[in-house]
Structure 1
Amino acid sequence: MSVAPGRKWAGTADGDLLASAALGDSTAFAELATRYYAPAYRLAWRLCGNQTDAEDVAQEVFVKLWKDPAQVRQAAALKGWIMRAASNGAIDRLRRRKTASLDEAIEVSDAQPGAVTVLEGNAASARVVSAMAALPERQRQALALVYYENFGNAEAAAIMETTVEAIESLLTRARKSLRDSLSGEWRDLLDGVTALGK
C-alpha cells in the first residue's frame, strides 16, 4: 500500500491514531481530523442551517477530542462519539439561537453529498430546506443522520442515545410532516428519496 506524501498515518486504524493522539502526537490527531471533520461539519450544517455555526461546532468537537481523547472509551466507537458530539453541539447552538437562517443554508454547497443529492442544487429545494427547518430538532437530527449522513437506524440511535424504535418513530413523523408541508412533485420526490433510506 502506498501512502500519500505527508500522510504517514493513512490506513492506520482509528484506535491506533487515538492512542497516539492521546500521547500528544499531532500528526495522528490531524489524520483523525482529516477522516472525520467533514462528516461532523455536514451533520452540524444540516442541523444548524448555516456555515458559521457548523464550522464552530465541528471545530469544538475536535478541540474537545484533542484536550481529552480518553472521552472516547472504545476506539471502535470514535466515529459515533464524534457524530454525537457534533449533533449535541449543533442542538445546543440551535437552542441558544432559536432560528436558522434559510438564506445562508441555501448558499452553502455540500462537497460530499449524501442520499438526497437529487434534492440539492435546485433552487426549488429551498422549499424542502424550509420544511426541514420547521421540523422539531430531534426529527431533523434523525433525518440528517439517516438520509444525509447514511447512518443505519441502529447507528443513528446510538448517536442520539435512544432506541432504534424511537429513531423509526422520529423518521416516520418527520416524513409525514414533510409530506404534509410539501406538495405535488416534491411529495413524490420525497417518497422516492425516503425509499432509498430503507
Structure 2
Amino acid sequence: MKIVIIDYGAGNIQSIKFAIKRLGFEAILSHDAGEIKKADKVIFPGVGEASSAMAKLRASGLDRIIPELKQPVLGICLGMQLMCRYTKEGNTKGLGIFDLDVKKFPNTVKVPQIGWNQITNLQSDLLQNVPEASYIYLVHSFYAPLGKETIAMSDYAFPYSAALQKNNFYGVQFHPEKSSSIGEQIVRNFLNLS
C-alpha cells in the first residue's frame, strides 16, 4: 500500500510516520502532485497557522490537487480545518471540501484547548471499533461547528465537530498519532478504508 503524507511545511509529520510504522506500514512525504495522485491513502497533516499554511498550498498548486483526489484522504487538526470552506484564523478561504466555516472558541474558555477530551456520536467506518466516549488528544483554538458532515463530536463550552466525512474525505480535529490505542485504531481504520 502506498501511503503519502502531504509535505507542505506543516508540523506533526514525524509522529504520523511513526504511528503508521507501528502498524507495519511505511509512509512517504511528498509535495509532488503525481505521487500524491498515485497514492492508495493520503494524509493531510497540519500544525500551525491557517493563512500561512493555505498560502503554501496555493504556491505549490496543492490547493487544486487535494479536492480532486479520489482515494481516501485524512486531514488532521489544521489539515481538517483547511478542508473546510473558510476559517476565521487569518480570515482564510479553505479548500471547500466540507461545507463548514471554522470559528474561534469564545474568550469564555481557555484557548487553546489542550489535552484529552471525549468523542461521542461516532458514525463512520473511520471510527469502527472505537468505543463511544473514548478519549483523544487535542490542541486547538479554532473549531468546526456541527454540520451534516459531522461523524463525531466533542464538547468544549459547547459541542463541535471532532471528525468530519464527505465521500472519500475524512477529517479529525484531534491528533490520532498522539491519542494512544484509540488513535492507533483510527489510523488502522483509515488504512483499511477502500
Could you tell me the TM-score, scaled by structure 1's length? 0.26
Greater per-residue helix proportion = 1
Greater per-residue strand proportion = 2
State the structure with more CA Rg: 1
